[in-house]
Amino acid sequence: MKQIVLDTETTGLSVKDGHRVIEIGCIEMDNLVPTKNVFHCYLNPERKVSEKAIEIHGYTDEFLSDKRKFKDIADEFLKFIENKKIIIHNAEFDLSHLNNELSLIGKNKINSENIIDTLEIARGKFPGAGVSLDALCKRYRIDNSKRKKHTALIDCDLLAKVYINLIDQREPTLDFQSKDNEKVNLGFNNVKSYFKKVIKPTSDEIKLHKDFLKTNLRKNNFN
């Protein structure tokens, strides 16, 4: 089955406060091998972007003012992700925003059974340790130097590499090009594939893990 690595950027944290999606990035993989099929768009949210959100991704009201609205790209987006597993880091956040957008235009919500949440996988593998995208890049020695701001397509590229490491697979070469490459300059042409590295935990991570076990397990062997 094909997989989609997906990320969004939004005007703010919660749909309960009326926040909207302003960027969608998707990278397609076929059995973990990139197909070079990419879905990417910026969106006019029809509301102001919060100052805190601008600090995170850098997308201003002015930049988004002439972009398409979600209803204009919904069918193309749904066709792109149809019948595919969707890989997301912190799926609850992205799904809440995407499903809100879909409900606003009378479309069915994305089936949660098709979702793979890398945040949950990472929490299971590394209890007590940092599991943000940046933390996982550091753990697996994945170069995230291009991530000056949170942008959907760059985050998708990093997440694809993280996911392959999380499930103990070799990382394929990633070489994508966005159809909508305003403010996106990924430069994947020279990215080389590599084998998953064995990373020894630090002393701080070992201590956090022991603390986690003491707190959450009835019986343990740590004194």
Catalytic positions are 150
CA distances to 31, 87, 102, 127, 146 from 158, in Å = 17, 12, 26, 21, 10
3-class secondary structure, 36 = strand
Q: Which two tokens stand for residue 72?
A: 């204009």
Task: Say how far apart CA 106 and CA 143 lie, in whole Å.
Answer: 40
Task: Say how far apart CA 66 and CA 126 lie, in whole Å.
Answer: 43
CA angle 5, 141, 119 (to 5 degrees): 40
Candidates 107, 171, 89; CA nearest to 98 is 107
3-class secondary structure, 9 = strand
